[in-house]
Amino acid sequence: MFQDNSLLIELKNQLRKKKLIVEGIVKSTSQGFGFLEVDSKTTYFIPQKNMKKVIHGDRIAGSIEIENNKEIFHPEKLIESFLKIFIGSIVKKNNCIYIRSYYPYIRDIVFHRYKTSISRSWKNGDWVVAELKKHKLQNSHHFYAHIKKFISEKNNPLSPWYVILSRHNLELTSPIINSIELLKQTIPNDNRVDLTSLDFITIDNCYTKDIDDALFVEKSSSNRLILTVAIADPTEYILADTEVDFIAKKRIFTNYLPGFNISMLPKKLSEDVCSLFPQVKRPVLACRIIIDDNGNIIMDKIEFFLAWIKSQSKLSYEQVSNWLEKSGSWKPENIRIEKQILLLQQIYNIRNLWRQKNALIFQDRPEYRFHLSKKWEVLKISIENRRIAHKIVEESMISANICAAYFLEKKLGFGLYSAHTGFDIFNAKNVVLFLKKYNISYSIEEIMTLSGFCKLKRLLNQLSNGYLDYRICRFQSFGEISIFSKPHFSLGLSSYATWTSPIRKYSDMINHRLIKSVIMGNKRITPPNNTIISNIINRKRKMRMAAKEIEEWLYIKFFKNIDHHNKFYQAKIVDVFKGGLRARLLKNGAFIFIPASYIHKIRKELICSPECGMIYLRNKIYYQVSDIITVKILYINQEKKTIFASLIN
């Protein structure tokens, strides 16, 4: 009926007579053709032959022409190229070198090699960083790319790690120290308290080399517990604005990845000179904390000072947990170590009770660890639960960070604070409306206060309703870093500043320097600037994305190498999309996607609601986020790094 529409015929005749020029973004498809997206409502078809002139994401201009009664877009001018610097692999053909992009929507495009300063005998599959130099819409017969950096050979078992890290512009190796003189620096004894005779102990993973905290507990004459937290002091070796300081400032964090770690500091420092090895004298920044019978920290008695310590024993979480839980054969090597473990357990018990009443505690969630062979193959994936020893150390570190926040606020009025503001006004309204559906009554004003937020979270913990937790978390604000003291709603604390991992986190190094400046009596102490906060946020985001991609790749590799057919898995629903649901396998932590067609055969009877985190069948709740389901692996899409599964009813 549209073929005889006079207005449409007239419009088409006008288009034939007068060229219509439009501008938009190129969107490619897996079938080879694409579309020009002008705005949210207007798109034009780009046939396969025309797609060969452009790249997915390009902003371009061109003309619309009518061909076989269809509006066809013809690219003519490049406004802005989507692709600038990219990851690719070398393709050798007829003694010529080409580059194929790593990105999914651009893999069909082959880039001709532009001149490069890198002298290398290139091999098929070599991974490189390349930069687009010439675009086809810039009067060029080909796309040309300049090779900026060699990443890895194809057969290097670490190439997936290197490619993903390079994609996010992250370092591939730990820094190497250039200044040997740095390690020869003599630390003066006169400004440090000698605590080498005390029974400090460390508790870490058995494979930890960068040991940054040691603990010692004693009882006062009034029978109060006194906890001394001693933290490795890299700032004694690393002066501000030196070569190593600039390295740390750029890296911001130690990057913990499946298989290996890429340290923030040179390993000579983080895993040797600064690490709190047993029976070795080390400089530390220490905090002495007095705790009363109710678990309160006596804030006006907090003391920060410089010291020397000598750890008496390197213990592991597994050893200590087994002993306290009365399992296994391990036991402390002497009565002094045994006493320290039991006193630390006492501190955990009373501080944990205090936080349950006055703040908030973490919910136990399992962590999954990849076990890799020497050839970087996945041998197995194990579940690592937080046990009593983990909680003992965690409680001590939280107490120390509460003290640092108080000290910095009182002495300087600034520092680097970890903050979380709970709900903004818009989401607070949504939370109140949502809770009413479950007969839970709160006012907007109440849940926007720290005490009200804590009250709500404690109630949710008592209800143990995973779906409610999920929905409330979706309304919460993101955490932030602040120069000035702010509450941390997620911890239920009025102020929080970390300083307990200075060989792994640059922000903790900054707080170390600020605390030490106060101790040393410096008068001119300047606050951190907003640039460092921006760098911390951006770096954390990049590292999380890289770690997630590496884990996805390892899961794909793991399932490719095992017989997963006809096996059933328990999984927990973690998200709902328009086209299906996402779940996590409880056994090994892998994320799977179940398309709607594998949830229920009659698609029109099923509604997937991402906003509610629910799936409705015939207008009744069928599944929701946090439900435990049984699934079967269908197939693995290696290109999209997705494991597809079906629901077993």
> What is the per-residue pLDDT across 503-552, written as a single tens digit (0 to 9) for each?
999 999 999 999 999 999 998 999 999 999 999 999 999 999 999 999 99
Q: Which domain holds residue 18?
A: 6-80
Q: Is 126 a catalytic residue?
A: no
Do 287 and 308 fall into the same domain? yes
Residue (of 99, 108, 103, 159) closest to 131 by Cα position: 99
Q: Which residue has the tokens 């087994």?
A: 322
Over residues 232-259, mean pLDDT:
94
Clarify whether residues 253 and 331 are in a common domain: yes
> Is residue 523, in this structure, part of any structural domain at all?
no
- Inside any domain, residue 533: no
Claim to verify: residue 98 and residue 210 sit in the same structural domain: no
* pLDDT surpassing 90 at residue 453: yes
Q: How confident is the model at residue 7 (pLDDT cuts 50, 70, 90)?
A: low
Structure letter (DSSP) for residue 111: E
pLDDT at 407: 98
Domain of 14, CATH number, reads: 2.40.50.140
Catalytic residue (one of 126, 210, 233, 245): 210
Token readout for 64 is: 């619309």
pLDDT for residue 183 is more than 80:
no
Q: Which of 113, 167, 504, 513 is catalytic?
A: 504
Q: Quick check: is 241 catalytic? A: no
Query: Which residue, 349, 373, 405, sits at the end of a domain?
Result: 405
419 occurs within a structural domain? no
Separation CA 511–CA 529 (nearest Å)? 13
Mean pLDDT, the chain, integer: 92
Cβ distance 349 to 393 under 8 Å? no
Which residue(s) pair with 303 in the sheet? 288
Residue 245 catalytic? Answer: no
The owner of tokens 């529409």 is 5
Task: Indicate if 103 belongs to the active site.
Answer: no
Catalytic residue among 58, 126, 199, 213: 213
Question: 568 and 644 in one domain?
Answer: yes
Q: What is the mean pLDDT of residues 237-244?
A: 91
Q: What DSSP state is assigned to residue 632?
A: E
What tokens appear for 572 in the block? Answer: 């927990």
Position 1 pLDDT exceeds 50: no
Asked if 234 and 112 sit in the same domain, the reply is: no
Can you tell me the distance from the alpha carbon of 516 to that of 415, in angstroms, rounded to the nearest whole number? 12
Per-residue pLDDT for 13 more than 90?
no
Q: Of the candidates 122, 156, 190, which is a domain's last residue?
A: 156
Asked if 447 and 476 touch (Cβ cutoff 8 Å), the reply is no
Q: Are residues 376 and 360 part of one domain?
A: yes
Q: Which segment of 365-369, 490-494, 578-582 scores lowest on mean pLDDT? A: 365-369
pLDDT at 5: 64
Domain count for the chain, please give it: 4
623, β-bridge pairs = 615
Annotated catalytic residue within 212, 233, 245, 508: 212
> Does the pLDDT of residue 480 top 70, yes or no?
yes
**Measured distance CA(359)–CA(453) in Å, rounded:** 10
Tell me the C-alpha to C-alpha distance, in Å, between residue 267 and each of 176, 270, 275, 501.
7, 5, 10, 15
Give the end of a domain, one of 405, 431, 466.
Answer: 405
Question: Is the pLDDT assigned to residue 4 strictly greater than 70?
Answer: no
Does 246 lie in the same domain as 193? yes
Within 13 Å and on the Cβ side, how many CA atoms surround 328? 12
Please tell me what DSSP assigns to residue 93.
E
- 369 and 324 in a common domain: yes
Neighbours of 256 (CB within 10 A): 12
99-113, 258-272, 327-341, 465-479: the lowest-pLDDT one: 99-113
pLDDT score of 74: 94
Q: How confident is the model at residue 2 (pLDDT cuts 50, 70, 90)?
A: very low
Over residues 33-40, the mean pLDDT reads: 92
Q: Give the mean pLDDT of 327-331.
A: 92
The C-alpha angle 565, 571, 577, rounded to 5 degrees, equals 100
Distance CA 505, CA 543 (A): 13
* CATH, residue 121: 2.40.50.640
Q: Specify whether 212 is catalytic.
A: yes
Q: How far is CA 597 from CA 182, 602, 640, in A?
A: 63, 7, 19
Residue 481 lies in a domain: no
Q: Are strands 201-204 and 313-316 parallel, antiparallel or unpaired?
A: parallel
| 213 in active site | yes
pTM above 0.85, yes or no: yes
How many angstroms from the chain centroid is the CA of residue 207? 22
Q: For position 529, what pLDDT does the model report?
A: 93
Of all residues in the chain, what percent carry a pLDDT higher than 90? Answer: 83
Within this chain, do residues 195 and 330 fall inside the same structural domain, yes or no? yes
Q: Using an 8 Å Cβ cutoff, are 308 and 282 in contact?
A: yes
Q: Is residue 207 part of a domain?
A: yes
Give the pair of three-digit tokens for residue 373. Answer: 């062979």
Q: Is residue 122 domain-shared with residue 198, that is, in the same domain? A: no
Distance CA 469, CA 490 (A): 13
Percent of the chain with pLDDT over 70: 95
For residue 43, the cross-strand partners are: 37
Question: How many of the other CB atoms lie within 10 Å of CB of 278?
Answer: 15
Span 395-442, pLDDT tens digits = 999 999 999 999 999 999 999 999 999 999 999 999 999 999 999 999
Q: Are residues 313 and 401 in the same domain?
A: yes
Q: Does residue 263 share a domain with residue 378?
A: yes
Residue 486 within a domain: no
Selected residue with higher pLDDT from 328 and 158: 158
Q: Residues 268-294: what's their mean pLDDT? A: 96
- Reference 520, options 182, 212, 210, 233; nearest CA is 233
> Tens digits of per-residue pLDDT, 188-218?
656 899 999 999 999 999 989 999 999 999 9
Residue 250 included in any domain: yes
Given 3-state DSSP classes, what are the helix, strand and coil percentages for the chain, each rounded to the nearest 5? Answer: 30, 30, 40
Q: Which two three-digit tokens encode residue 266?
A: 């040179």
Neighbours of 40 (CB within 10 A): 6
Per-residue pLDDT, 9: 60
Q: What angle do CA 151, 157, 162 make, to 5 degrees?
A: 30
Question: Does residue 590 lie within any of the structural domains?
Answer: yes
Indicate which residue of 317, 348, 406, 417 is catalytic: 317
Summarize pLDDT for 628-642 with one digit per residue, the tens: 999 999 999 988 889
